[in-house]
Amino acid sequence: MIEKWVFFDLDGTLTRSEEGIWNCVKYTAERMGFPVPDAATLRKFIGPPLISSFQQYMGMSEEQAWKAQSVYRERYTTVGKFENQVYPGVRSLLRALKRAGIHMGVVTGKPENSTRSILDYFGLSRFIERVSCASDARADKDHLIRAVMPGQDAEVWMVGDRCFDMEGGVKAGVHTLGVTYGYGSEQELLDSGAERIVHTPWEAAEILCPGTAVPAGAFLSMEGLDGSGKSTQIEKLTRTLEKFGYEVVHSREPGGTPISEKIREILLSRENTEMSDVTEALLYAAARAQHVRERIRPAVAAGKVLLCDRFLDSSVAYQGAGRQMGVDRILAINAPAVEETLPLLTVYLDLDHRTSLQRRSEASELDRMEMEKEDFHARVEEGYRELISRNPERYVVVNARGDREEIADAIAKAVLKKLMEAED
Protein backbone atom coordinates (compact mmCIF):
# COMPACT_ATOMS: atom_id res chain seq x y z
CA MET A 1 0.00 0.00 0.00
CA ILE A 2 1.38 3.41 -0.88
CA GLU A 3 2.10 5.82 1.92
CA LYS A 4 -0.37 8.63 2.38
CA TRP A 5 0.53 12.01 3.88
CA VAL A 6 -1.77 14.89 4.74
CA PHE A 7 -0.32 18.30 5.49
CA PHE A 8 -2.57 20.75 7.30
CA ASP A 9 -2.32 24.47 7.49
CA LEU A 10 -2.78 25.58 11.13
CA ASP A 11 -4.67 28.92 11.41
CA GLY A 12 -8.11 28.64 9.83
CA THR A 13 -7.76 24.91 9.19
CA LEU A 14 -7.00 23.17 12.50
CA THR A 15 -7.49 26.16 14.80
CA ARG A 16 -9.64 29.28 14.81
CA SER A 17 -7.03 31.82 15.71
CA GLU A 18 -8.58 35.16 14.90
CA GLU A 19 -8.94 36.40 18.47
CA GLY A 20 -5.23 36.04 19.22
CA ILE A 21 -4.09 37.36 15.84
CA TRP A 22 -6.40 40.36 15.91
CA ASN A 23 -5.52 41.27 19.47
CA CYS A 24 -1.84 41.15 18.54
CA VAL A 25 -2.30 43.30 15.39
CA LYS A 26 -4.22 45.87 17.46
CA TYR A 27 -1.52 45.82 20.12
CA THR A 28 1.16 46.32 17.46
CA ALA A 29 -0.72 49.22 15.84
CA GLU A 30 -1.14 50.96 19.20
CA ARG A 31 2.46 50.41 20.22
CA MET A 32 3.79 51.73 16.89
CA GLY A 33 1.42 54.69 16.66
CA PHE A 34 -0.54 53.44 13.62
CA PRO A 35 -4.35 53.59 13.43
CA VAL A 36 -5.95 50.32 14.54
CA PRO A 37 -7.22 48.55 11.37
CA ASP A 38 -10.98 47.96 10.98
CA ALA A 39 -12.54 44.49 11.18
CA ALA A 40 -12.38 43.83 7.43
CA THR A 41 -8.67 44.67 7.33
CA LEU A 42 -7.94 42.60 10.44
CA ARG A 43 -9.44 39.56 8.71
CA LYS A 44 -6.82 39.84 5.96
CA PHE A 45 -4.01 39.26 8.45
CA ILE A 46 -4.87 35.60 8.83
CA GLY A 47 -2.88 33.53 6.34
CA PRO A 48 -0.30 35.66 4.52
CA PRO A 49 3.15 36.46 5.94
CA LEU A 50 2.99 39.28 8.52
CA ILE A 51 5.72 41.37 6.91
CA SER A 52 3.73 41.79 3.71
CA SER A 53 0.44 42.37 5.58
CA PHE A 54 1.89 45.20 7.68
CA GLN A 55 3.10 46.90 4.49
CA GLN A 56 0.05 46.20 2.36
CA TYR A 57 -2.74 46.75 4.86
CA MET A 58 -1.24 49.32 7.25
CA GLY A 59 0.99 51.26 4.88
CA MET A 60 4.24 50.54 6.71
CA SER A 61 7.68 50.71 5.15
CA GLU A 62 9.62 47.46 5.04
CA GLU A 63 11.74 48.55 7.98
CA GLN A 64 8.66 49.41 10.04
CA ALA A 65 7.09 46.08 9.10
CA TRP A 66 10.07 44.16 10.54
CA LYS A 67 9.85 46.15 13.73
CA ALA A 68 6.07 45.54 13.81
CA GLN A 69 6.63 41.82 13.44
CA SER A 70 8.80 41.71 16.54
CA VAL A 71 6.30 43.77 18.57
CA TYR A 72 3.54 41.43 17.39
CA ARG A 73 5.52 38.35 18.39
CA GLU A 74 6.21 39.74 21.84
CA ARG A 75 2.51 39.49 22.63
CA TYR A 76 1.74 36.51 20.42
CA THR A 77 4.30 34.14 21.95
CA THR A 78 3.16 34.83 25.49
CA VAL A 79 -0.61 35.40 25.29
CA GLY A 80 -1.93 35.55 21.74
CA LYS A 81 -1.22 31.99 20.68
CA PHE A 82 -3.57 30.64 23.35
CA GLU A 83 -6.44 32.98 22.38
CA ASN A 84 -7.29 30.23 20.00
CA GLN A 85 -9.61 27.26 19.63
CA VAL A 86 -9.58 23.92 17.83
CA TYR A 87 -12.43 23.76 15.27
CA PRO A 88 -15.21 21.36 16.25
CA GLY A 89 -14.70 18.11 14.35
CA VAL A 90 -10.94 18.51 13.90
CA ARG A 91 -10.12 16.04 16.69
CA SER A 92 -12.36 13.41 15.07
CA LEU A 93 -10.71 14.06 11.70
CA LEU A 94 -7.18 13.64 13.07
CA ARG A 95 -8.16 10.57 15.07
CA ALA A 96 -9.77 8.92 12.05
CA LEU A 97 -6.74 9.55 9.82
CA LYS A 98 -4.32 8.28 12.44
CA ARG A 99 -6.40 5.16 12.97
CA ALA A 100 -6.24 4.54 9.20
CA GLY A 101 -2.42 4.74 9.24
CA ILE A 102 -2.32 8.06 7.35
CA HIS A 103 0.69 10.25 8.19
CA MET A 104 0.07 13.86 9.12
CA GLY A 105 2.03 17.07 9.20
CA VAL A 106 1.51 20.79 9.70
CA VAL A 107 2.72 23.35 7.15
CA THR A 108 2.23 26.86 8.41
CA GLY A 109 3.32 30.43 8.04
CA LYS A 110 3.82 30.61 11.82
CA PRO A 111 7.19 30.33 13.50
CA GLU A 112 8.11 26.92 14.80
CA ASN A 113 8.05 27.77 18.53
CA SER A 114 4.47 29.00 18.47
CA THR A 115 3.36 26.17 16.22
CA ARG A 116 4.78 23.51 18.50
CA SER A 117 3.44 25.07 21.67
CA ILE A 118 -0.05 25.42 20.17
CA LEU A 119 -0.02 21.78 19.08
CA ASP A 120 1.21 20.71 22.54
CA TYR A 121 -1.24 22.91 24.41
CA PHE A 122 -4.22 21.48 22.54
CA GLY A 123 -2.95 17.89 22.71
CA LEU A 124 -2.58 17.65 18.93
CA SER A 125 1.16 16.87 18.77
CA ARG A 126 0.63 13.15 18.97
CA PHE A 127 -1.14 13.21 15.60
CA ILE A 128 1.49 15.30 13.82
CA GLU A 129 4.71 13.67 12.63
CA ARG A 130 6.23 16.55 10.69
CA VAL A 131 6.10 20.30 11.14
CA SER A 132 7.24 22.82 8.54
CA CYS A 133 7.18 26.44 9.63
CA ALA A 134 8.00 29.79 8.14
CA SER A 135 11.27 31.46 9.04
CA ASP A 136 12.36 34.99 8.18
CA ALA A 137 14.19 33.56 5.17
CA ARG A 138 11.46 31.24 3.91
CA ALA A 139 7.70 31.72 4.09
CA ASP A 140 6.28 30.43 0.78
CA LYS A 141 4.06 27.42 1.24
CA ASP A 142 5.49 25.47 -1.71
CA HIS A 143 8.97 25.62 -0.15
CA LEU A 144 7.55 24.70 3.21
CA ILE A 145 5.75 21.69 1.70
CA ARG A 146 8.84 20.54 -0.20
CA ALA A 147 10.88 20.68 3.02
CA VAL A 148 8.78 17.87 4.53
CA MET A 149 7.85 15.90 1.40
CA PRO A 150 7.95 12.12 1.81
CA GLY A 151 9.38 9.79 -0.88
CA GLN A 152 8.29 9.97 -4.51
CA ASP A 153 5.50 7.41 -4.62
CA ALA A 154 3.59 8.70 -1.58
CA GLU A 155 0.14 10.23 -2.06
CA VAL A 156 0.34 13.73 -0.58
CA TRP A 157 -2.40 16.26 0.22
CA MET A 158 -2.22 19.88 1.28
CA VAL A 159 -5.29 20.95 3.27
CA GLY A 160 -5.88 24.64 3.93
CA ASP A 161 -8.32 27.52 4.03
CA ARG A 162 -6.53 30.18 1.94
CA CYS A 163 -5.18 30.69 -1.58
CA PHE A 164 -1.62 30.47 -0.20
CA ASP A 165 -2.21 26.85 0.80
CA MET A 166 -3.74 25.87 -2.53
CA GLU A 167 -1.15 27.69 -4.65
CA GLY A 168 1.66 26.21 -2.55
CA GLY A 169 0.20 22.73 -2.96
CA VAL A 170 -0.15 23.12 -6.73
CA LYS A 171 3.43 24.39 -7.08
CA ALA A 172 4.78 21.57 -4.92
CA GLY A 173 2.85 19.05 -7.08
CA VAL A 174 0.58 17.62 -4.38
CA HIS A 175 -3.21 17.19 -4.13
CA THR A 176 -5.08 20.16 -2.70
CA LEU A 177 -8.16 20.26 -0.49
CA GLY A 178 -9.72 23.57 0.46
CA VAL A 179 -11.81 24.06 3.62
CA THR A 180 -14.44 26.79 3.67
CA TYR A 181 -14.96 26.94 7.47
CA GLY A 182 -11.75 28.98 7.86
CA TYR A 183 -10.93 32.44 6.49
CA GLY A 184 -10.96 32.04 2.70
CA SER A 185 -14.04 31.87 0.48
CA GLU A 186 -14.94 28.93 -1.74
CA GLN A 187 -14.19 31.12 -4.78
CA GLU A 188 -10.73 32.04 -3.48
CA LEU A 189 -9.95 28.35 -2.97
CA LEU A 190 -11.21 27.31 -6.42
CA ASP A 191 -9.40 30.18 -8.14
CA SER A 192 -6.14 29.16 -6.50
CA GLY A 193 -6.35 25.54 -7.65
CA ALA A 194 -8.27 23.58 -4.99
CA GLU A 195 -8.99 20.10 -6.34
CA ARG A 196 -11.62 19.39 -3.71
CA ILE A 197 -13.64 21.65 -1.41
CA VAL A 198 -15.20 20.74 1.94
CA HIS A 199 -17.29 22.69 4.41
CA THR A 200 -16.57 20.77 7.62
CA PRO A 201 -13.59 18.88 9.04
CA TRP A 202 -15.51 15.62 8.91
CA GLU A 203 -16.15 16.02 5.15
CA ALA A 204 -12.36 16.22 4.81
CA ALA A 205 -12.06 12.88 6.63
CA GLU A 206 -14.50 11.34 4.15
CA ILE A 207 -12.36 12.45 1.21
CA LEU A 208 -8.97 11.68 2.72
CA CYS A 209 -10.04 8.38 4.21
CA PRO A 210 -13.19 7.16 2.44
CA GLY A 211 -15.56 4.92 4.37
CA THR A 212 -14.14 5.87 7.76
CA ALA A 213 -16.41 5.86 10.84
CA VAL A 214 -16.53 8.74 13.33
CA PRO A 215 -14.34 7.80 16.34
CA ALA A 216 -16.35 7.35 19.52
CA GLY A 217 -16.76 10.32 21.85
CA ALA A 218 -16.96 9.99 25.62
CA PHE A 219 -19.42 9.93 28.47
CA LEU A 220 -18.70 12.05 31.56
CA SER A 221 -20.83 12.62 34.64
CA MET A 222 -20.97 15.28 37.32
CA GLU A 223 -22.08 14.31 40.83
CA GLY A 224 -22.52 15.95 44.18
CA LEU A 225 -25.07 16.86 46.84
CA ASP A 226 -27.83 19.26 45.88
CA GLY A 227 -26.42 22.78 45.86
CA SER A 228 -22.83 21.73 45.19
CA GLY A 229 -22.63 23.93 42.07
CA LYS A 230 -22.86 21.29 39.35
CA SER A 231 -24.66 23.51 36.83
CA THR A 232 -22.06 26.28 37.03
CA GLN A 233 -19.20 23.83 36.65
CA ILE A 234 -20.90 22.03 33.76
CA GLU A 235 -21.09 25.37 31.90
CA LYS A 236 -17.44 26.20 32.60
CA LEU A 237 -16.19 22.75 31.64
CA THR A 238 -18.20 22.90 28.42
CA ARG A 239 -16.53 26.16 27.38
CA THR A 240 -13.07 24.72 28.00
CA LEU A 241 -13.77 21.47 26.19
CA GLU A 242 -15.15 23.39 23.20
CA LYS A 243 -11.98 25.46 23.04
CA PHE A 244 -10.08 22.19 22.72
CA GLY A 245 -12.33 21.09 19.84
CA TYR A 246 -14.59 18.66 21.71
CA GLU A 247 -18.25 18.67 20.70
CA VAL A 248 -20.11 18.71 23.99
CA VAL A 249 -23.75 17.81 24.60
CA HIS A 250 -25.46 18.14 27.97
CA SER A 251 -27.95 15.92 29.66
CA ARG A 252 -29.28 15.27 33.14
CA GLU A 253 -30.74 12.56 35.33
CA PRO A 254 -33.43 11.88 36.07
CA GLY A 255 -34.39 13.11 32.59
CA GLY A 256 -32.66 13.71 29.27
CA THR A 257 -35.37 12.19 27.03
CA PRO A 258 -39.13 12.90 26.82
CA ILE A 259 -40.00 9.65 28.60
CA SER A 260 -37.33 10.13 31.28
CA GLU A 261 -38.44 13.73 31.87
CA LYS A 262 -41.98 12.48 32.54
CA ILE A 263 -40.59 10.02 35.06
CA ARG A 264 -38.62 12.90 36.59
CA GLU A 265 -41.85 14.78 37.25
CA ILE A 266 -43.25 11.82 39.13
CA LEU A 267 -40.04 11.39 41.11
CA LEU A 268 -39.61 14.99 42.18
CA SER A 269 -43.25 16.01 42.66
CA ARG A 270 -43.92 17.10 46.25
CA GLU A 271 -47.35 15.42 46.02
CA ASN A 272 -45.93 11.92 45.79
CA THR A 273 -45.21 11.51 49.49
CA GLU A 274 -46.45 7.92 49.49
CA MET A 275 -43.86 6.65 47.06
CA SER A 276 -42.16 3.53 48.41
CA ASP A 277 -38.38 3.28 48.35
CA VAL A 278 -38.45 0.39 45.87
CA THR A 279 -40.75 2.30 43.51
CA GLU A 280 -38.43 5.27 43.70
CA ALA A 281 -35.32 3.20 42.94
CA LEU A 282 -37.04 1.43 40.04
CA LEU A 283 -38.28 4.71 38.56
CA TYR A 284 -34.79 6.23 38.63
CA ALA A 285 -33.51 3.06 36.93
CA ALA A 286 -36.32 3.13 34.35
CA ALA A 287 -35.63 6.76 33.46
CA ARG A 288 -31.95 5.83 33.16
CA ALA A 289 -32.61 2.83 30.89
CA GLN A 290 -34.35 5.09 28.37
CA HIS A 291 -31.72 7.81 28.70
CA VAL A 292 -28.83 5.41 28.08
CA ARG A 293 -30.41 4.05 24.91
CA GLU A 294 -32.02 7.13 23.43
CA ARG A 295 -29.45 9.76 24.32
CA ILE A 296 -26.14 8.68 25.84
CA ARG A 297 -25.12 5.87 23.52
CA PRO A 298 -26.11 7.65 20.28
CA ALA A 299 -24.24 10.81 21.29
CA VAL A 300 -21.05 8.93 22.16
CA ALA A 301 -21.30 6.89 18.94
CA ALA A 302 -21.57 10.18 17.00
CA GLY A 303 -18.25 11.35 18.48
CA LYS A 304 -19.69 13.76 21.06
CA VAL A 305 -18.68 14.28 24.66
CA LEU A 306 -21.87 13.73 26.62
CA LEU A 307 -21.69 15.58 29.91
CA CYS A 308 -24.38 14.39 32.28
CA ASP A 309 -25.62 16.07 35.44
CA ARG A 310 -25.88 12.91 37.68
CA PHE A 311 -25.92 9.24 36.71
CA LEU A 312 -25.84 5.82 38.41
CA ASP A 313 -23.74 7.08 41.34
CA SER A 314 -26.67 9.24 42.41
CA SER A 315 -28.83 6.15 42.78
CA VAL A 316 -26.14 4.39 44.78
CA ALA A 317 -25.74 7.41 47.08
CA TYR A 318 -29.41 8.54 47.40
CA GLN A 319 -31.30 5.24 47.26
CA GLY A 320 -28.50 2.85 48.30
CA ALA A 321 -27.14 4.91 51.21
CA GLY A 322 -29.77 7.64 51.78
CA ARG A 323 -32.77 5.27 51.74
CA GLN A 324 -30.62 2.47 53.17
CA MET A 325 -31.55 0.05 50.41
CA GLY A 326 -27.95 -1.16 50.09
CA VAL A 327 -25.42 -0.63 47.35
CA ASP A 328 -25.66 -4.14 45.90
CA ARG A 329 -29.43 -4.01 45.58
CA ILE A 330 -29.24 -0.67 43.76
CA LEU A 331 -26.55 -1.96 41.42
CA ALA A 332 -28.66 -5.06 40.69
CA ILE A 333 -31.74 -2.94 39.89
CA ASN A 334 -29.67 -0.76 37.57
CA ALA A 335 -27.71 -3.50 35.82
CA PRO A 336 -30.21 -3.98 32.94
CA ALA A 337 -30.64 -0.20 32.66
CA VAL A 338 -26.98 0.66 32.11
CA GLU A 339 -25.38 -2.64 30.97
CA GLU A 340 -21.79 -1.64 30.06
CA THR A 341 -22.52 2.10 29.74
CA LEU A 342 -20.55 3.84 32.51
CA PRO A 343 -18.85 7.23 32.59
CA LEU A 344 -15.22 7.41 31.53
CA LEU A 345 -14.76 9.89 34.37
CA THR A 346 -17.00 11.31 37.10
CA VAL A 347 -16.45 14.72 38.63
CA TYR A 348 -17.49 14.81 42.29
CA LEU A 349 -18.13 18.24 43.79
CA ASP A 350 -17.38 17.60 47.41
CA LEU A 351 -19.67 19.54 49.75
CA ASP A 352 -20.67 18.62 53.31
CA HIS A 353 -24.37 18.00 53.77
CA ARG A 354 -24.93 20.95 56.16
CA THR A 355 -23.60 23.50 53.69
CA SER A 356 -25.58 21.73 50.99
CA LEU A 357 -28.77 22.09 53.03
CA GLN A 358 -28.12 25.77 53.65
CA ARG A 359 -27.46 26.48 49.94
CA ARG A 360 -30.55 24.52 48.89
CA SER A 361 -32.93 26.30 51.17
CA GLU A 362 -31.63 29.68 50.03
CA ALA A 363 -32.32 28.73 46.40
CA SER A 364 -35.63 27.64 44.84
CA GLU A 365 -38.48 25.67 46.43
CA LEU A 366 -37.33 22.27 47.64
CA ASP A 367 -38.33 19.18 45.63
CA ARG A 368 -39.41 15.85 47.16
CA MET A 369 -35.82 14.59 47.55
CA GLU A 370 -34.50 17.86 48.92
CA MET A 371 -37.24 17.92 51.58
CA GLU A 372 -35.67 14.88 53.25
CA LYS A 373 -34.26 15.29 56.75
CA GLU A 374 -30.66 16.03 57.58
CA ASP A 375 -29.70 12.44 58.45
CA PHE A 376 -30.81 11.33 54.96
CA HIS A 377 -28.42 13.82 53.36
CA ALA A 378 -25.66 12.84 55.80
CA ARG A 379 -26.01 9.24 54.60
CA VAL A 380 -25.98 10.38 50.94
CA GLU A 381 -22.71 12.22 51.58
CA GLU A 382 -21.28 9.12 53.25
CA GLY A 383 -22.52 7.00 50.32
CA TYR A 384 -20.57 9.11 47.82
CA ARG A 385 -17.43 8.87 49.95
CA GLU A 386 -17.74 5.10 50.06
CA LEU A 387 -18.20 4.91 46.27
CA ILE A 388 -15.15 7.07 45.62
CA SER A 389 -12.94 5.11 48.01
CA ARG A 390 -13.93 1.90 46.23
CA ASN A 391 -12.99 3.15 42.79
CA PRO A 392 -10.84 6.30 43.09
CA GLU A 393 -9.47 6.26 39.53
CA ARG A 394 -12.92 6.91 38.06
CA TYR A 395 -13.37 10.18 40.02
CA VAL A 396 -12.02 13.69 40.09
CA VAL A 397 -12.85 14.99 43.54
CA VAL A 398 -12.85 18.76 44.02
CA ASN A 399 -13.70 20.82 47.06
CA ALA A 400 -16.97 22.55 46.15
CA ARG A 401 -16.41 25.31 48.73
CA GLY A 402 -13.33 26.62 46.95
CA ASP A 403 -13.05 29.43 44.43
CA ARG A 404 -15.21 28.75 41.34
CA GLU A 405 -12.43 29.46 38.87
CA GLU A 406 -9.97 27.27 40.74
CA ILE A 407 -12.52 24.46 40.87
CA ALA A 408 -13.10 24.87 37.13
CA ASP A 409 -9.35 24.72 36.41
CA ALA A 410 -8.86 21.57 38.48
CA ILE A 411 -11.79 19.87 36.74
CA ALA A 412 -10.67 20.93 33.26
CA LYS A 413 -7.15 19.66 33.81
CA ALA A 414 -8.26 16.22 34.96
CA VAL A 415 -10.98 15.85 32.32
CA LEU A 416 -8.75 16.91 29.42
CA LYS A 417 -6.04 14.50 30.52
CA LYS A 418 -8.49 11.62 30.63
CA LEU A 419 -10.15 12.51 27.31
CA MET A 420 -6.81 12.79 25.54
CA GLU A 421 -5.60 9.49 26.96
CA ALA A 422 -8.75 7.88 25.61
CA GLU A 423 -8.22 9.26 22.08
CA ASP A 424 -6.78 6.59 19.81
User: Which residues would be at the binding site for ligand TYD (CB under 6 A)?
Assistant: 226, 230, 252-254, 268, 284, 309-310, 314-315, 318-319, 367, 369-370
Closest approach, Cβ 331 to ligand TYD, in A, equals: 12
Q: Between 191 and 374, name the residue whose CB sits nearer to ligand TYD.
A: 374
Three-state helix/strand/coil letters over 210-256: CCCCCCCCEEEEEEECCCCCHHHHHHHHHHHHHHCCCCEEEEECCCC
Q: Between 50 and 222, name the residue whose CB sits nearer to ligand TYD.
A: 222
Closest approach, Cβ 302 to ligand TYD, in A, equals: 23
Measured CA to CA, the distance from residue 228 to residue 415 in angstroms comes to: 18
Closest approach, Cβ 365 to ligand TYD, in A, equals: 11
Closest approach, Cβ 368 to ligand TYD, in A, equals: 8
Closest approach, Cβ 316 to ligand TYD, in A, equals: 8
Q: Between 203 and 226, name the residue whose CB sits nearer to ligand TYD.
A: 226
The residue number whose beta carbon is nearest to ligand TYD equals: 318
Among the listed residues 13, 53, 314, the one whose alpha carbon sits nearest the alpha carbon of residue 176: 13
Q: Between 17 and 315, name the residue whose CB sits nearer to ligand TYD.
A: 315
Q: Between 16 and 377, name the residue whose CB sits nearer to ligand TYD.
A: 377
Q: Between 157 and 284, name the residue whose CB sits nearer to ligand TYD.
A: 284
Closest approach, Cβ 377 to ligand TYD, in A, equals: 9
Q: Between 122 and 318, name the residue whose CB sits nearer to ligand TYD.
A: 318
Measured CA to CA, the distance from residue 49 to residue 110 in angstroms comes to: 8
Number of other CB atoms surrounding residue 351 within 10 Å: 22
Closest approach, Cβ 128 to ligand TYD, in A, equals: 40
Closest approach, Cβ 324 to ligand TYD, in A, equals: 13
Q: Between 69 and 315, name the residue whose CB sits nearer to ligand TYD.
A: 315
